Structure formats: C-alpha cells, structure tokens
A = this chain, B = another copy of it.
C-alpha cells in the first residue's frame, strides 16, 4: 500500500452505461485519480434474486480500472440488503427505541445481528472475496458502509435474545447482575435474564447500568459482525481490510478495528470546523498505528442531501485538506463522489463530475490538490509521521457512558473537540490515542471526560507516570465503575489514594459562583466537579477554589509518581478566562514534561512533523486562507523548491504548504 499516495473517488459503475463509464475513466486519469472505491451498495445488482449471484461485471470493472492505472478498494455491500431479504420479514429489521420499525427504501434498515442476514451477508461476501480477491488492482477491502451511521441501538427480538445471552455471559447469574446494577433501586430486581428489558419506553429514566451496557453490547455485536465478515474475506484474499468509520457513529472504533487491517474514516467537516478535520487525522493515525490510515470519503466542495446542503469549501481549501492529511499520515485521500447521483437521496451532494458528465464545482480544486499530492509524494513516502510527545486519550466507549449521563446535555465530541483545539492552537504536536493505545514514547498524557477508567487503563497510565510521564486526569474522569455505577470507597475509587487526594465533594459547579485559581490566573469553574483535599503527605494543590460553595478546596492537584506525576483536574475552567487558565495548565505541564515537539505556528496553520532516513520533515499547511508563519528551530531545506531556508520565521501563503527538511 505504501508505494504511492492514493488519490481516490467513490464510483458507481452499476448506475451508469458503458459510455459514461468510459468517459469517467478518461476524466479520472485527467484529474489524477489513482484509486476507485466501489461496491458498497451493489447487493441487489450482484444478487437480484435470492441466490442468483453474478460478480463478473465488477471483476471487469476492476480489470478496466487497472488497465487505466487505477487501483480499486472493493466494498462489501451489506449496508443495503436487497428487497427480497426484508419484504414480508419485519423481524429482520431494526427497531428503534421509540418502537418504529425501519423499512426498506433507505439504508441500514436490517439488523446486522439477525441470523438470516448474517447468513446471506456471509454468502455474498464470500462470493465477492472468491471472485475478486486475487485480482490485480484490488488493493484493499472496505467492509459494509458507515456502520451505525444512521441508527443507534436496535431493539428487535434478535437483539433481545442476544442481550440476554450477553448479560448471562457477563454476570453468570442474575443475582450478580442485580447486585452490580443495584436494581433494588425502584424495585427493578430481575428473577431471570429474560426479564431484563431493552432500554425502550418507560415513564422516567432507565437504570444507568442497563442503558450503558446495552450500548456497549451493541457496539460489541457490531464489531463482531465486522470481524465475521473480515474472516470470510481473508480466506480468499490477501488484500487488507478496512471500514469507513467516523467518530460520529455508534461504534467503538478501537474494538471495531481490532480485527481489521487498517483504519479509515469519512469526514465532511466544513472549513469553519477545520480543527475537527485535523482531529480526525490525529486520531485515525493511532487507531491502527502500524499502517497508514485512509480518508475514504470527503466532499470535493460541499456535502448535501435532499434535506439540506452545506457551504462549498473556499477555493484552495481542498489542497490544504489533502496535503495536511497526507502529511499527518493518510495513505489515501478519497472523494465522495466521482459522478453526481442522478437519483436517490443525495443528488445535491457535490461531486467531481456532474450527473450530465461535466466538471462540477470542485473539479479544478480536485486537479490542484492532485498536483500538490504529486509534488509531496516522494518526500512523504520517504518519511513517516512523527509520534507526538503529547497524547490525549480518545474513548468511544465513554460516549456510551456520557450518553446515559450527559449531565447538562454534554456531548463528548464537542467537549473533546474543544480540548483538542486548544492544544492544536498552541502549536503542540499531538496524538489522539485510543484507550488501549501504547503510552511509550509520550511525555504528557491527558485523560479528560472519561467517566469510567478501567483498571488496565489506570495501570498503564501509572506505569507511564512511573517512567517519568505526567498524567493529567480529568475533568469528569474516573467517577464511574464499569457497570456505570458509583464507587463506594471514594468518589473516584482507588485513583484518589494514588493521586494523593481525597475528593471532598462532587457537585455541579454552574451557578455557584465558583472560581478557580492556578498559575496566577483565575476563572469560573463548571461541570459536575470533584473538589479535592490533599491526603496527608499527599498531593500539592496547584489550583485552588477561591469562591463558591467550597472555597479553600482544590480543583487541581499534583502528586509525584515514580519519575513522573499524576495531576488531578477536578473541574473545567470555563469562558475566556477558563480558556486562558487551561492554556496555562497545558503550557506548564508541557514544559514540565519536556515537550519539544511544538512550534509557535500561527493559529489556522498546522505543522505536521515526520521522520525519515534523512531526518525530520515539517509539512506546514495553511488551513484558514489567511496565510501563516512559524519559526523554524534551525535552518533546513525547502524540499519542493530545493532552496535553503534559514532558522527563524517562515511563511506560507493562503492555503499554501511548504515541506521543510530540518
């Protein structure tokens, strides 16, 4: 996979005639497309009648593309089962929490846990694997399409049975479940596993354990489906397997990709949301760190569907997107979609070519980005992304907990996005690391907004601190058990003793006039907060509460641990002052931890550091269209122009990029 930078587009040859397909191939060459993604919605094309499967036309497409020098990533078509699989079979359909049965006519309407679906999915995938799996030009597989993008938990009968089995295998006997969940509250006590409901309509709230675990159960079965499908492909094909996922979908990506070969995702972040675009790069690089990640879908100009449309990217932004993605570790940068949909539901989504075969709005931008790709390709292929020194833990699992207990409508994505943006804007290179990610090589670890910290995670973070790292835990982290209940030994369980603190109170800070002071700054405090007192001989208070309900207590403490330290952040400083305080905190601990992989790059511009045989390579990309600058720590070479650049200020133009070998 690594001998080129892939530049791809989603293609639907099954929807068009021979003439259009020919035309497409020629235009793909012109625009620099060297990878086509196809097949994710072709089940009814492959198997128009149950059991009559014909894969040959797609083998032919792959061969033709190959003849044009274009590789293929082939998708399994399980996201859109044909009508024969569901007509007259409501029991195979997803049932929403509100009781609505999802019907044929859109996508993702079938419950992926239904045994008959699994059987038919296995057959079609096996046939695809058999007939296409060895074709030259087939360079990768994508499983399904955006699993759980449109649906969250399914409440069908199949899921109900599996839920009971899952609970039984988790708890062994019903008494243990009752004890773990504390079902004595509200007389919920179960006599048998079959009585445990799915989290459907009730007059008031469900038990937190039930709701959170149902989400985790569903994430697990989704990953199980993917693993089952991947195993089938592997029997017939050496091509690596991925899935086009997202941080927005109802999956645990870490779990999902465990049985896959490389990480991929889709993103349609607008330019206004460009930090979310970069967050994706910094995350997916670390989901399967041994391989390049692929960006499998992004729009050439704007997203759209029948119901709405987004704002077109400004001229030039596409190149900045492509260059930054490649420099941050992408092995492929792919558009959705090549040719505008003539029918269906997404006719207003931007494409490279219109439904009538002409260049669409983003066409020239796509060509420009391709040219940029060709310029940077040799330099990126000769290097690998540098590991950051700062890691931020990313947890899809915590979304399950936070959805159950959102306090005041908190969203993990937005909380984490804000937290990430601050570090990005400070010019610190960073990795978003899944909970199970390796911590070796890092100097500073942030663990914000993770309700439940597993023993394994805590152990890993402690080893990290032991070895000299600084671990900053909180806000909102550690106060819940695996079963989404409270600890009964201390607010934050065993972590408190280790961190040298005792949590005096946990309570919501908003509206209490609480002020926190640290690093010479003060700011309002917010969120469901833990306020600390150091244990005797324990932590040092670095942030103190000066007003509100609990003045004198701490919201920020520091405890030496091995060669490193554990920092407890119990609350979230808020507003503009809170932002400054958090920046001071990050700055302080980055310095303490000896973080050097950072720069003074101006906001709106990003530095993407890589390493190669010949040293360090910085790709500097302007993302905001205003141009930017950064101080080079030493002289180097602009590898695109070949010119020497001295240490000191370096500028990039609007949406410009420079590759500097340092």
Contacts and interface: CB of A to CB of B under 8 A. Distances in A.
A451 to B, nearest CB: 11
Contacts of A209: 343
A463 B127 CA distance: 57
Chain A, interface SS category: loop
A169 interface: no
Interface string A200-215: 1111111111100000
A129 to B, nearest CB: 19
A340 interface: yes
Given A44-B188, A48-B191, A344-B185, A206 B106 contact: yes
Interface stretch (A484-492, A556-564, A638-646): A484-492
B83 A191 contact: yes
Contacts of A350: 507
A499 to B, nearest CB: 16
B81 A187 contact: yes
Nearest to A185: B344
A389 to B, nearest CB: 36
A30 interface: no
A487 B356 contact: yes
A312 interface: yes
Given A182-B342, A186-B344, A309 B48 contact: no
A104 interface: yes
A103 to B, nearest CB: 5
Interface string A29-64: 000000000000111110011000000000000000
Contacts of A307: 205, 405-406
Given A306-B208, A343-B182, A549 B105 contact: no
Contact of A48 (B149, B189, B199): B189
Contact of A151 (B82, B203, B301, B302): B203
A42 B187 contact: yes
A44 B510 CA distance: 37
Nearest to A405: B306
A348 B203 CA distance: 19
A87 B189 CA distance: 12
Interface stretch (A66-74, A93-101, A442-450, A591-599): A93-101
A185 B87 contact: no
17 contacts: A77-B187, A83-B191, A101-B201, A102-B203, A104-B195, A105-B188, A105-B206, A105-B207, A106-B186, A182-B344, A185-B344, A205-B345, A208-B306, A208-B343, A314-B549, A315-B549, A356-B491
